[in-house]
Amino acid sequence: MPTVVKKLTKNLTFWVLIAGVLGYFSALLFGDPEWTVDTSPPAFYEFILLLKTVFLALLKMLVAPIIFFSLIGGLLNIGDASRLKNLGIDLGTTGIVTVFFMAMVSSIGAPTRYAVGLDGRDADGAARSGNPAGGNRYSSGGRASTRYDSHGSEC
């Protein structure tokens, strides 16, 4: 049994999964839903939003080069065909963890008032696209077909 625990604790996927679950439960425990609708959120929340914006901007800046160089480096280091099996297992594990996190994030985002449905309306029923009929600019949202420009006014 100790060898399984030792192998598991050295696995990066395991630690990413643990961090995601801890983040989810800390958001449930410490998050205040009033912050999203309050007209003046606390200064701490504004600081967290600043950190989020900076982090996402830095992440977007790094994603393309990291993916490119990791793919090139991985292809150059394959060596023989037997190592492709491990590559397939790693990709499968990554896919499963990605689906798990997408489900976890969706369970957090869906009940909030900022969730947008497939018809382009938010949870309160207001059109989000600037189109008073709902849907996006190119669909009528199930109502009479009226064309709208990019600002939501009739053509």
Helix (H, G, I), strand (E, B) or coil at 141: coil
Torsion from C-alpha of 33, 39, 40, 46, nearest 10 degrees: 60
What pLDDT is attached to residue 134? 47
What pLDDT is attached to residue 137? 44
What pLDDT is attached to residue 104? 83
Do the Cβ atoms of 50 and 43 come closer than 8 Å? no
The Cβ-side half-sphere exposure at 131, using a 13 Å CA radius, reads 23
Instruction: Output the six-digit token pair for 74.
Output: 């991985």
What pLDDT is attached to residue 141? 47
Neighbours of 131 (CB within 10 A): 24
What pLDDT is attached to residue 151? 61
What pLDDT is attached to residue 49? 87
Do the Cβ atoms of 140 and 146 come closer than 8 Å? yes
Q: How many residues does the chain have?
A: 155
Question: What's the first-to-final CA gap in the chain, in angstroms?
Answer: 70
What average pLDDT values come out for the chain (155 residues) when binned by 10 residues?
Answer: 82 92 88 71 81 91 88 77 73 87 78 54 54 46 53 61
pTM: 0.32
What pLDDT is attached to residue 118? 52
